Amino acid sequence: MTKKDILSLTSEIINKNTPVILNKLGFKEQPGYLKFKISESYDDALGMCFAIFKDDEKTQLQEAVIILYPFNMLWINFLDWIRLPRICKFSRRLFERKVLHVLAHELRHFWQYYTGEHKKYSRLSRFLPSKMRLIELDAEKWAEDFLTVYGLKPRIANLSF
Ligand SMILES: [Zn+2]
């Protein structure tokens, strides 16, 4: 896949699946203040969800931006100088699945901000490294469940005789 393919495939996946994922999260329609961006690189992050609130108590969302980093999804970084390809680098279907997984994960973060769930988590796990925070575990678990229900696990039925 060329750079252009990756960018257009990523935006295609965002456009096609965001309504479905938001629906599963309980939204009737996509809030106008939720925006998406596709960006080249940001350390080794796969995705981000930024939220701006109207109030100091962080209850009312003013704007939210989800950024996906599809080029980071193709590599695993070790230390600062070892870069290994992920298997999704060699398979369009696995790459699509990876993008969908990250999209579902980030939209769950959006849901956490929208519902105020994020406040419940942050006090409990302020001192943990970011990857171990409960807010991350919740987003990751939800994304896994979404992909399972959505039928994107390997289709073993195709292999039987
Ligand atoms: Zn996350």
Residue-wise pLDDT tens digits, 95-118: 999 999 999 999 999 999 999 988
Average pLDDT of the segment spanning 119-140: 74
The length of the chain, given as a count of residues: 161
Distance 134 CA to ligand 1 centre (A): 10
Which range of 28-37, 128-137, 142-151 scores highest in mean pLDDT? It is 28-37
135 CB-contact burial (10 Å; exposed 0-12 / middle 13-18 / buried 19+):
buried
Provide the whole-model pTM.
0.86
Tokens of 75: 């590599």
The per-residue pLDDT for 84 is 87
Q: How far apart (Å, rounded) are the C-alpha atoms in residues 105 and 111? A: 10
Q: State the pLDDT confidence band at 64, using cuts at 50, 70 and 90.
A: very high
- H-helix or E-strand containing 30? none
Nearest to 124 by CA among 110, 105, 141, 137: 137
Query: What's the average model confidence in pLDDT over 19-44?
Result: 92
Give CA separation, 99 vs 6, 38, 73, 74, 107, in Å.
Answer: 10, 11, 8, 10, 12
Reading the block at residue 13, the tokens are 């996946």
Give CA–CA dist 98/46, Å, rounded: 9
- Ligand 1 center to 141 CA (angstroms): 10
Does 153 have pLDDT greater than 80? no
Average pLDDT, the chain: 87
- 3 Cα to the center of ligand 1, angstroms: 25
Q: Give distance in angstroms: CA of 145 to centre of ligand 1.
A: 15
